[in-house]
Amino acid sequence: MRKNRTRARKPAATPRPPQMRAESPAVAAPPRLATLDVHRHVISVLVDNEAGVLARVIGMVAARGYNIESLTVAEVDPARNLSRINILTAGTRRIIEQIKAQLGRLIPVHEVRDLTEEGPSVARELALVKVAGTGDKRNEALRIGDIFRSNVVDSTVESFVFEIVGNSQKIDAFIDLMRPLGLLEISRTGIAAIARGTGGLRPHA
Amino acid sequence: MSKQKFSGAHLVLKALEDQGVDVLFGYPGGAVLPLYDELFKQNRIRHVLVRHEQAAVHAAEGYARSTGKVGCVLVTSGPGATNAVTGLTDALMDSIPIVCFTGQVPTSLIGSDAFQEADTIGITRACTKHNYLVKDVRDLPRIIHEAFYVARSGRPGPVVIDIPKDVALALGSYTAPPRDIPSAQHKTYRPRTVPDMAAVRMAVDLMAEAERPLFYTGGGVINAGPEASELLRELVELTGFPITSTLMGLGAYPAAGRAWLGMVGMHGLYEANLAMHDCDVMINIGARFDDRVTGRLDAFSPGSQKIHVDIDPSQINKNVLVDVPVVGDCAETLRLMIEEWNSRPRRRDTGALKAWWAKIEEWRERDCLGFEQRGATIKPQQAVQRLYELTKRSNAIVTTEVGQHQMWAAQFYRFQEPNKWLTSGGLGTMGYGLPAAIGAQIAHPDALVIDIAGEASILMNIQELSTAVQHRAPVKVFILNNQYMGMVRQWQELMHGGRYSQSYSEALPDFVKLAEAFGCTGLRVSDPAKLDETIGKMMATDGPVIVDVHVDPTENCFPMIPSGKPHNEMMLSATDEGFANVTAEGRALV
């Protein structure tokens, strides 16, 4: 189990170089993109909060066959009518670049950022986990809940609902431990993610 | 400021006028009656009544492609909108700027499965560049102006504006379009037009050192306006490099130009495909490495460094990884490339380029388009070749349907100018040619507009003859009638053991009588000796004409790169043994 709660998943080693730099040789791009290694990326998208914008994103992803592990969306700036979409996806470098480019050409999109590639970032997810049991199992569930610093947000004599916040791996681990203890039901939010430091997503001026 | 109130329908017409629209292609219906009522009250915008909504979009595409302007469509809700879907998808695939107004049931009924209700926004989301549902009349003028901006900017495409009937009747005030919406003013959509100079320099670096260079240009050059074609010609002349083009890019560089290799791709020319395969620097300007062009991807031009100029960043590295991506408008990029090329010292050694040209000349000697016109049957190639020879001084606009005749048109009709060649490239829509020809003819009333068609395709939108007659669009429909869905028949012959499943054009109409029934002129020719005379008669006849040219039913379209094969395994005839060893994987490709 991870002790260090403040660190998110290890960020990508180096920030991505801009697409074209004068000093880079002309042949730099293909080998980088040609790799078939599959990596997870967190992509954040700032969009106009208009009807159907989520359907546009999801429709594009489905039509082009990209793989999405989680997607969250919520309004983040009511005054300017902006929503933020966080997408957790997995793919080769080339696919990830395609996803970003395809997102970028949707008309209501202000900005697309690859948090995994661009530097350190934090990603968090919330889960509600219902566990039912009595006796030792019930006590053990409560103990593990404590270790993971979860909150009990509902309790009956036979069940708990735990509220747990953390990175996705932590939640996975928590759920795995609860499985033999009477795990009944899980509700997860998908990730919210943000870059560390002062940088971040900004709408066009 | 005047805050006079107008109905939504009136606002639409005001906005269209301010956008410079002179023609709408459409079909009325319940949900768009307020708009048709406003159309009735004015005479500045002409309405061309089509006979099917799909044809309205194709006609608007023909109008747009032949003028460089945005094509406009007006259709009703439900079936009106769903019928338009094929046309919209066609425009999306071929990057044609269209603004399509669809009627919608009143906002209070949306979602109730009302009569002629369809989720137009949901259905067209995947086949438009963008779409809008107008829920409030106050947003209407802004949305229309924005739609035109989106349709024509960056990589052009179709935009749908869905207007519920109550919004068309509601009162609102008008806002004129911003005088000029430079892309920096739109809230989110700001396509990059001027490329990064460092990328241009790297591209020219590669070009300067190239020994076996090749320009591979596409529809993007046409979309960037006539100026882009001028600049392309200048750059080709300056460099002395050979040039090939996709189906969509024909005419940007003249077929009579000395650097012209002919079209590339599945039915491209031998010399063009081998040059693609063997070049060491490929300069892709406004093309998208479509599968019709690349053939087998892992064997596509294996020894070349590739430059890719495209205004749409999502095209870069999509199908083919490139070495120098240049995101920008073709015209802007070509201008900078020319400047950069001219700023450098003249190349000392031109030996390699000469050797490359010598190689190309060797390939040319194969005469891959060669055919023999003998006997009493007209060869389809001969028909197109004669059509070209007899119409070339008329500066004709040529449209096509989809299939063998389309490929023969691309191979044998020699386009010298941009915006003269209108064809359905990406989607491959049978039934495109006749309505597109009508759209082009409406935009160019005095031009000779010819739809080179097949007898199967033409039946897909034959009802548009009525449109042509009503609107005095004297289009000439030149049918290469081989009594087969020729391309299907060709694939069945070459790859499915000659089992001609459902590809025979059974129960064909008498095209001469059909033309007459519509009020057009019908001509028929089957004797090779009468071909020229018939084409002459077609040109001399006023009004729409159908020419039913009976051609050899068994002729195949060559060269052909069988599916799953690379460029250097092109077939030049049906006896080529390459067809026998198409892999199972190749067979699964289209």
Locus of tokens 């000796």: B529
- Provide CB contacts within 8 A for B571, sequence distance 6+: B558, B559, B560, B561, B562, B578, B579
Best residue in B92, B321, B327, B333 to probe A by mutation, most A CBs within 10 Å?
A: B321
Taking 70 as the threshold, does the pLDDT of residue A93 lie above it? yes
Please, which pLDDT band fits residue B349 given cuts at 50, 70 and 90? Answer: confident
Tell me if A105 sits within 8 A of B314, measured CB to CB: yes
B165 is catalytic: yes
What pLDDT digit, counting tens, does each position of A173-195 carry?
Answer: 999 999 999 999 999 999 999 99
Best residue in A84, A98, A105 to probe B by mutation, most B CBs within 10 Å?
A: A105
- Cβ pair B133:A20 closer than 8 A: no
Which residue spans within B53-210 are E strands per DSSP? Answer: 71-75, 98-104, 130-133, 158-164, 171-173
Mean pLDDT of A79-84: 96
Amino acid found at B426? G
What pLDDT digit, counting tens, does each position of B290-326 carry?
Answer: 999 999 999 999 999 999 999 999 999 999 999 999 9
Q: How much is the pLDDT for B537?
A: 98
- Cβ pair A20:B126 closer than 8 A: no
ipTM of the complex: 0.92
Mean pLDDT of B378-398: 98
CA atoms within 13 A on the CB side of B533: 7
Say if A63 is an interface residue toward chain B (CB within 8 Å).
yes
Q: How much is the pLDDT for B587?
A: 76
Q: For domain A122-192, which CATH number applies: 3.30.70.1150, 3.40.50.720, 3.40.50.300, 3.90.1150.10?
A: 3.30.70.1150
**Catalytic site residue from B5, B17, B115, B513:** B115
Please indicate, yes or no, whether the overall pTM of this predicted structure exceeds 0.80.
yes
Say if B182 is an interface residue toward chain A (CB within 8 Å).
no
Locate the domains of chain A by residue range.
35-118, 122-192
Where do the H-state alpha helices sit in B260-299?
270-278, 291-294
Q: What average pLDDT does the structure give for chain A?
A: 87
Please, which pLDDT band fits residue A151 given cuts at 50, 70 and 90? Answer: very high
Nearest CA in chain A to B133: A51
A74 phi and psi angles, rounded to 5 deg? -160, 155
Taking 80 as the threshold, does the pLDDT of residue B189 lie above it? yes
Domains A35-118 and A122-192 alike in fold: yes
Tell me if B203 sits within 8 A of B326, measured CB to CB: yes
Q: What average pLDDT does the structure give for chain B?
A: 96
- Residues from chain A that touch B313, judged by Cβ atoms under 8 A, are 101, 104-105
Q: How much is the pLDDT for A20?
A: 36
- Cβ pair B202:A20 closer than 8 A: yes
- Cβ pair A105:B198 closer than 8 A: no
- Cβ pair A107:B325 closer than 8 A: no
- Cβ pair B121:A33 closer than 8 A: no
Q: How much is the pLDDT for B181?
A: 61
Taking 90 as the threshold, does the pLDDT of residue B178 lie above it? no
Q: How much is the pLDDT for A28?
A: 40
Mean pLDDT of B372-376: 89
Nearest CA in chain B to A23: B198
Nearest CA in chain B to A30: B321
All structural domains of chain B: 5-185 (3.40.50.970), 197-364 (3.40.50.1220), 380-550 (3.40.50.970)
Closest by CA to A64, choosing from A91, A33, A42, is: A91
**Partner-chain residue, chosen from B126, B150, B318, that has the shortest CB–CB distance to A98:** B318
B518 is catalytic: no
Nearest CA in chain A to B321: A30
Cα–Cα–Cα angle for B277, B279, B284, rounded to 5 degrees: 90
What pLDDT digit, counting tens, does each position of B497-548 carry?
Answer: 999 999 999 999 999 999 999 999 999 999 999 999 999 999 999 999 999 9
Mean pLDDT of B128-134: 98
Q: Does domain A35-118 have CATH number 3.40.220.10?
A: no
Share of chain B above pLDDT 90, in %: 92
Cα–Cα–Cα angle for B149, B235, B250, rounded to 5 degrees: 60
Nearest CA in chain B to A110: B188
**Catalytic site residue from B14, B25, B53, B332:** B53
Structure tokens at A124: 């968090």
Mean pLDDT of B32-44: 97
**Phi-psi category of B105—alpha, beta or left, where left has phi over 0 and alpha has psi -120 to 50?**
beta
Taking 90 as the threshold, does the pLDDT of residue B380 lie above it? yes
Taking 60 as the threshold, does the pLDDT of residue B251 lie above it? yes
**Partner-chain residue, chosen from B130, B199, B316, that has the shortest CB–CB distance to A107:** B130
B53 is catalytic: yes
